Amino acid sequence: MSNVSKRKICVVTGTRAEYGLLLPLLQALKVDTAFELQLIATAAHLSPEFGLTYRIIEEDGFAVDAKVEMLLSSDTPVGIAKSIGLGTIGFADAFDRLRPDLLVLLGDRFEMLAAAQAALVARLPIAHIGGGDTTEGAFDEAIRHSITKMSHLHFVTNQESADRVLQLGEETARVFVVGNIGIDLIKWIKLLPRDEVEQRIGFKLHQKNILLTFHPVTLQDDYGLKDFESLLAALDRLGDNYGLIFTRPNADTYGRAIVKRLDRFVATHENASVHTSLGSQMYLSTMASVDAVVGNSSSGLYEAPTFQKPTVDIGERQSGRLRANSVVHCKARADDIYDAIIEALSLDCSETVNPYGDGHSVPRILAVLKNTPDYNALVKKHFVLRAK
């Protein structure tokens, strides 16, 4: 633990979506007198291609204490691997300069793997948010479990995930079921009315509207491009009466191939629009204004049920995740996607309960951070072998 009264909590963010989820926690850490917040922006936040979204962080009133450049202008497997290496080097320097008492990482992206590796050898304790979840169609699955083994406190979204973390040999006293902090964001942020959503995104909403995000499927041979083509074919079959609002994929392997095909589709469809980064407020306000969420993003499983909106989850990218009754899963074939969208739009989700929590994750996380007397003592762990 630091000798000063405030304990330095360092949070890493690399994407627009992840930053949005972290917002309530960042704000709570910023105002709490027990902590000194340190914030590191990396990867897509620093890329013009992805909107230089570190500026949004600064506009929200947060100081960016370090910028770790790591994202190469390549989305091939070689490029991603080299980006991880550059990230590890950059985080090593940043941690050495900032000297945090604890590092907070969310999720399963390769940027977080780079940060975890640097923290591990620096004997910097890690609090990991979102461990134990599953995404069997992406290599994020292995990254998430790897970060779990390098982490020292585990803030998980549900009991099933807690059980998986325990199965990985972690000590029971280090695992806390806090829920998904994305629900905290929904309750914390001011949502915009429908007319303001239209004005800000520059798109006139139709009688029926769909919010779409499709990320690369990194364990498939073609990284999900054929699946994405099937989605576009299904949307063509829906016709022009449906408003289609796309957000571009994250900086994942071969994501540019999906972006290129998406841009061609939007250019030839007046009922469609595409956005590099809507930002947290606009994204959630748009979600609240549409009739369904479609694609393979975790937001359709994590956040959409809180709005009591139906979700169509396509293919295997999110396979294994806990699902609300508002989620319709389908294979990545055009006919199946079309049928699933029609089914989703007919669902009554007024009684849907989000299985990922109640929107009080942040207070639970803060309580653990405050009640942990010595962060340094966390570094030594015991592997718990549990009977089958």
* 297-319: average pLDDT: 94
Pair (307, 370) in one structural domain: no
Angle (deg, nearest 10), helices 361-371 and 181-188: 120
Pair (245, 302) in one structural domain: yes
Torsion of CA 41, 46, 47, 51, to 10 degrees: 90
Q: Is residue 71 part of a domain?
A: yes
Whether the CB-CB separation of 215 and 246 falls below 8 Å is answered with: no
Q: What is the pLDDT of residues 118-131, one digit of tens each?
A: 999 999 999 999 99
> What was the pLDDT predicted at 215?
92
> What was the pLDDT predicted at 136?
75
> What was the pLDDT predicted at 193?
96
Q: What is the pLDDT of residues 131-188, one digit of tens each?
A: 999 887 778 899 999 999 999 999 999 999 999 999 999 999 999 999 999 999 999 8
**Biggest CA-to-CA distance, the chain:** 64
* pLDDT at residue 330 tops 90: yes
* Residue 24's pLDDT band (cuts 50, 70, 90): very high
310 phi and psi angles, rounded to 5 deg:
-75, 150
* Residue 4's pLDDT band (cuts 50, 70, 90): low
* Ranges 198-207, 218-227, 340-349: which has the least confidence: 218-227
Pair (64, 157) in one structural domain: yes
Residues 6+ apart with CB under 8 A from 123: 376, 379
Angstrom distance (rounded) from CA 276 to CA 370: 37
Q: Pull the structure tokens for residue 350.
A: 């007024």
Write the secondary structure of 209-267 as one string of H (helix), E (strand) and C (coil). Answer: EEEEECCCCCCCCCCCHHHHHHHHHHHHHHCCCEEEEEECCCCCCCHHHHHHHHHHHHH
Pair (197, 280) in one structural domain: yes
Q: Is residue 335 part of a domain?
A: yes
Which among 3, 24, 90 has a CA at the least distance from the CA of 280? 24
* 348-354: average pLDDT: 96
Pair (258, 372) in one structural domain: no
Q: Pull the structure tokens for residue 137.
A: 């169609």
* pLDDT at residue 61 tops 90: yes
Pair (220, 317) in one structural domain: yes
> What was the pLDDT predicted at 250?
76
Pair (228, 175) in one structural domain: no
Pair (132, 263) in one structural domain: no
Q: Pull the structure tokens for residue 59.
A: 């506009």
CA angle, 356 then 360 then 363, to 5°: 130
Residues 6+ apart with CB under 8 A from 299: 17, 182, 213, 283, 287, 293
Q: Is residue 302 part of a domain?
A: yes
Average pLDDT taken over every residue of the chain: 94
What percent of the chain stands above pLDDT 90?
82
CA angle, 19 then 21 then 24, to 5°: 95
* pLDDT at residue 2 tops 70: no
Pair (48, 134) in one structural domain: yes
> What is the total residue count of the chain?
388
Q: Pull the structure tokens for residue 198.
A: 């239209």
Whether the CB-CB separation of 18 and 106 falls below 8 Å is answered with: yes
Q: How many CB atoms lie within 10 A of CB 115?
A: 32
Query: CATH no. for residue 312?
Result: 3.40.50.2000
Angstrom distance (rounded) from CA 302 to CA 13: 19
Q: How far is CA 273 from the centre of its chain?
A: 22
Pair (75, 166) in one structural domain: yes
Q: What is the pLDDT of residues 78-129, one digit of tens each?
A: 999 999 999 999 999 999 999 999 999 999 999 999 999 999 999 999 999 9
Instruction: Provide the domain count of the chain.
Output: 2
Angstrom distance (rounded) from CA 211 to CA 201: 12
Which among 87, 108, 95 has a CA at the least distance from the CA of 151? 108
Pair (208, 326) in one structural domain: yes
CA distances from 344 to 59, 227, 311 (A): 37, 19, 7
Domain residues for 105?
7-179+359-378
Pair (203, 340) in one structural domain: yes
* Ranges 44-53, 175-184, 202-211: which has the least confidence: 44-53
Q: Is residue 149 part of a domain?
A: yes
Q: Is residue 34 part of a domain?
A: yes
Q: Is residue 354 part of a domain?
A: no
* Residue 1's pLDDT band (cuts 50, 70, 90): very low
Q: Is residue 386 part of a domain?
A: no
Q: Is residue 233 part of a domain?
A: yes
Q: What is the pLDDT of residues 245-302, one digit of tens each?
A: 999 887 777 788 999 999 999 999 999 999 987 888 999 999 999 999 999 999 999 9
> What was the pLDDT predicted at 31?
97
